[in-house]
Amino acid sequence: MKIPARHRAGITILEPKGKITIGVGDVALREAVHEALEAGSTKILVNLKDVSTIDSSGIGELVSAYTSVTNRGGALRLLHLPPKVQDILQITQLVTVFEVLDDEEEAVASFAD
Amino acid sequence: MMMSELKVHVEVESRLENVELVHIAIESSLAELELSDDDAHQIGISIREAVANAIKHGNQGDASKLVRVELGIDDGDLLIRVQDQGVGFDENGVPNPLEPENLLRRNGRGLLLMKQYMDQIEYTFQPENGTVLEMRKGLAVLRSNSAKQEEERQ
């Protein structure tokens, strides 16, 4: 599975679909972020609108991606959290780490700050 | 503890791709219980985390070792048992993923999710049988069925 990516105003927008779980979407997410970083993009927006399930492995990949991008002086933000993903981010207290946005226009504008 | 009305019995080799397989097998059985979407999701995540831990940490990824999952109903609770063939697991040895210094670690959140989503979780270790994780969740749909059966008996 390859995660679709599009580009807007210098931002890479990743749009995973379905599961980000152990052995299913976690590696695909890691590869997509790695590819974006290799291509020189350090502004990454992950649109989670179509993600049905995320487990601790998927959360671990999001955290790892966040750290990789931040360490390069960039920013990784999340867009359109489905309730089940939001719930897991609350439980793991990662809502305090990630910047989460509900509107793509606002999200794109936020990278210009 | 004896399970009554056992629903599912799955045994898989310790390969991470089998986490998905177990989830799919169990999802179809859970569908019969007509659980709420939230309950089905929370149970599914808990089973995934338990099986992943049994494969990675219990059986150390040794594919020749098996992970056994049983799902049943006990006294109006959903009871899930996940057994590995490993050498034991110290629940207290897992760093708290909510501590600020652990917040950005890649791993270590599975146990937290299971504790959050299930009513009770308990590990027991037997040298000949590996580690058994027993998880319970009280479900309104099971309790109302259990009450109906009790009424019919009287």
Task: Please give the mean pLDDT across all residues of chain A.
Answer: 95
- The model scores a pTM over 0.80: yes
Residue in chain A nearest B97 by alpha carbon: A92
> Would you state the pLDDT for residue A48?
98
Is B109's CB within 8 Å of A61's CB? no
The domain total for chain B is 1
The answer to whether residues A23 and B55 touch, using CB atoms and an 8 Å cutoff, is no
What's B89's domain CATH number? 3.30.565.10
B20, B49, B98 member nearest A93 (Cβ): B98
Tell me which residue range forms the domain holding B122: 4-153
**How does DSSP classify residue B114?**
H
CATH number at residue A89: 3.30.750.24
What integer pLDDT is reported at residue A26 of this predicted model? 86
Query: Which residues of chain B lie closer than 8 angstroms to A24, CB-CB?
Result: 20
Per residue in B86-116, pLDDT tens? 988 778 888 999 999 999 999 999 999 999 9
Domain of residue A20 covers 5-110
Instruction: Please list every residue in chain B whose beta carbon sits closer than 8 Å to the beta carbon of residue A96.
Output: 103
Task: Specify the DSSP class assigned to residue B82.
Answer: E
Interface contact A55, partner B, CB < 8 A: yes
The pLDDT of residue A13: 98
Is it the case that residue A98 has pLDDT exceeding 70?
yes
Q: How far is B30 from chain A (nearest CA, A)?
A: 16
Name the residue facing A91 among B48, B105, B113 (closest C-beta). Answer: B113
The number of folded domains in chain A is: 1
A31 CB-near residues (< 8 Å, 6+ apart): A2, A3
Task: Tell me the two tokens of residue A19.
Answer: 């599961």
Nearest CB to A57: which of B41, B52, B98?
B52
ipTM above 0.85, yes or no: yes
Give the tokens for residue B57.
Answer: 């940490």
Size of interface A-B (CB pairs under 8 A): 60
Cα–Cα distance between B91 and B122 in angstroms, integer?
9
Instruction: Give CA–CA dist A58/B139, Å, rounded.
Output: 27
Q: What is the mean pLDDT of residues B1-29?
A: 83
